[in-house]
Amino acid sequence: MERIELLDETSRYPHAERLTRTLAALLHELGLQDRELTVVLMDDAAIAQRNRADRQEDGPTDVLSYPTFEPGDEGFPEVPHLGDVLISLETAARQAEENGHSLEEEVLVLAAHGLTHLRGFDHRTDEEWQPFLEVQARILQLADGEAS
């Protein structure tokens, strides 16, 4: 059974249950039903602090991913916990407005994006974006109940 821990540091996100249910369905589809995931919802100030400390980038970002285990880690056993996905609700709200969709949709997309990073993918080239686009579209289908 997949285990998703959702920490809403802002105490302002009204769709927490749907987010965890949809992420659980996505994990199951990806064959990761025995894995654990932590999602932290935070504000711009908190994610900007992490962004500066960990990536040497100033200012907030929308999503950060911290894998617990990365392929190639020598001597480190693979553990059930995939890692942590940090999402700024303030940045997500701005992006949702800019793109003409809901905050809930934006958070789902960002969670799927972060999960894809935890699975070992990156997007340095256009071709590498494909797995991200696929999983981001799929989580929206799952949220809409269009799962086959």
pLDDT tens by residue, 121-140:
999 998 999 999 999 999 99
Whole-number pLDDT of residue 74: 67
CB 120 within 8 A of CB 70: yes
Length of the chain in terms of residues written: 148
Whole-model pTM? 0.91
Checking if the pLDDT of 4 tops 80, the result is yes
Q: How confident is the model at residue 147 (pLDDT cuts 50, 70, 90)?
A: very low
Would you say domain 3-143 falls under CATH 3.40.390.30? Answer: yes
Q: Percentage of the chain surpassing pLDDT 70? A: 91
- How sure is the predictor about 145, in pLDDT bands with cuts at 50, 70 and 90? confident
- Counting DSSP H helices and E strands in the chain, the numbers are 5, 4
pLDDT of 1: 46
Side chain identity at residue 96, one-letter code: A
For the segment 33-56, the average pLDDT, to the nearest whole number, is: 96
Query: Which position has the higher pLDDT, 76 or 22?
Result: 22
**Cα-Cα end-to-end distance for the chain:** 20
